[in-house]
Amino acid sequence: MSNISAANSANALGKPLHGGVALVTGGSRGIGKAIAKRLAALGAAVGICGRDEEKLMLASRELEAAGAKVLANRADVTKEADIRAFVDATEKRLGAITILVNNAGTGGGGFGAIQEKSEAEWDQVMNTNLKSVFFVSRAVIPGMIRRRGGDIINISSLAGKNTFAGGGIYCASKWGLQGLSGCMAEDLRAHGIRVSVICPGSVATDFTGRGPKDPGKVLTADDVAHAVAMVAAQGPQSFISEVQMRPVAKP
């Protein structure tokens, strides 16, 4: 009864994720940092990773200043050993992971006509945007299966639903993520695990994309964080499989 009372009290205070642990990749800046802040505000402890030590520590201090319980680890999501160390450290420090947000991504050298692209550029984008989701999810899923529940939220893009000139590698990575997410959802729903995908259009961040963005005609990182929070805090008997997001003003 005490656990039920605590949960009810947390929900009454606007903390529906109280007692949960969220792991957010690419959480040191941009969309990832906004997601980590929003989930922490809803009561979750948060583990974040990134490759830039300075930005990672800054994000960690911001989260702690807001009252969050946080673990920040430097990790390269394209390296399986880094991921396993990050997951182990998060669960040792914060507890069992109940929410995984696969947010880390790059445009890198992925924009341009396919005949002008190199194997190294292909690998950089595919490893960050797609292979990392495989690595991180594979590290987290067994624990969720044992506990009969969890949320996995993959940050994709409208580029995973549409094509455009010069987007060959980037679109391929996001179309692949769409397929992976859908199959994961079918594989895991019998274990009580929900897999959702968020597909934003252009977002005002320092992400290396196709060129300058008009701030009045793009989404914000907080817009994406709001969608993630909505998915993470939904009721227990359903899951939102996909969210597509567009700015109100057309580019």
Active site residues: 170
- For residues 91 and 143, give the distance between their C-alpha atoms in angstroms, rounded to a whole number: 10
Encode 110-123 in three state secondary structure.
CCCCHHHCCHHHHH
Q: What is the CB neighbour count within 10 angstroms for residue 65?
A: 8
Among 48, 176, 52, 53, residue whose Cα is nearest residue 110: 176
H helical segments located in the chain: 2-12, 30-41, 53-65, 80-93, 119-126, 132-147, 168-188, 221-232
What does residue 216 show for φ and ψ, rounded to 5 degrees? -80, -5
Q: How many CA atoms lie within 13 A of 161 on its CB side?
A: 14
- For residues 134 and 127, give the distance between their C-alpha atoms in angstroms, rounded to a whole number: 10
In sequence order, the β-bridge partners of residue 197 are 154, 242
Are 139 and 128 in contact, with CB atoms under 8 Å apart? no
